[in-house]
Structure 1
Amino acid sequence: MKHHAVYVELDVNQPTTEQIEGVREYLDQLGYSPAVGTSPAGRLDVQLSVPADDVYMATARGVVAAQQLAGAKAVTIESRDGDEYDAMQGFAQIPDLVSVAQAAEILQVSRQRVQQMIDAGQFVTARKVGNSTVLATNEVTGRVHNSTDTSPV
């Protein structure tokens, strides 16, 4: 089940802090990770992350929950697939990562050989994270599937 971004603006003008907090707490209990506030038009504004099989079901769940709780009708509704929403917001997808030791195991070479390959620029995704180096799993496994030469530099 995927998460979908659902935005609902409700016909509640100038909501109080208590109303906003009450809506936020209730929707948080439902597991919708809400952001609740006041829209530029001065109405109650609810943004949710709703788990559902499709965007239609996510929209229905989000709108019903928000309307029932606030006791008001939706004025604006906007829904997007979660991945589309993240891309629209400029959030980068973080790939699955492996350590140098894990890459060595996948490639059936030594850790030192993987480090040589990194130093030679053969892994474009290699990054230092603290004291460790990580690589994108798909780049490492792609070398196995493409039978790329892993012999010494």
Structure 2
Amino acid sequence: MRKLSAFACGLLFGLGLIVSGMANPAKVLGFLDLAGQWDPSLAFVMAGAIALAAPAFRLARSRRQSFGGAPMQLPTARRIDGRLVGGALLFGAGWGLAGFCPGPALVAAGSGEPRAWLFVAAMLAGMAIYAVLERRSPSR
């Protein structure tokens, strides 16, 4: 049942990305182009996502397990450090250059978009490099 639920949630998420235009890099880059022909429509997508997620996270914090019976595992870290800021900057730069972030890139790759496949390959390479560097770091 958990796998079916996860599949249904992923399918709904992917369809939402397609319908909202988030899987279209031209639409995303138009939203990020504040100095040019700015397309504010994705701001409404983000506002809708926040409006839906905020009460869901509030409910999740008050529960010990999910509706499917799995234990709730919400993040507890609250500290903003250099690693968080650096990662956010890299994420934002990649999003601004490519027009993709991980979820929409996977959706676009699934629809056969060649640029998305390139982005996903670069994303996986970056994740592998990070994993290697983390294992070599004596302080972690």
TM-score between both structures, scaled by the size of structure 2: 0.26
Hey, which of these two has a bigger chunk of strand by percent? 1
Instruction: Report which of the two structures shows the higher radius of gyration computed on alpha carbons.
Output: 1
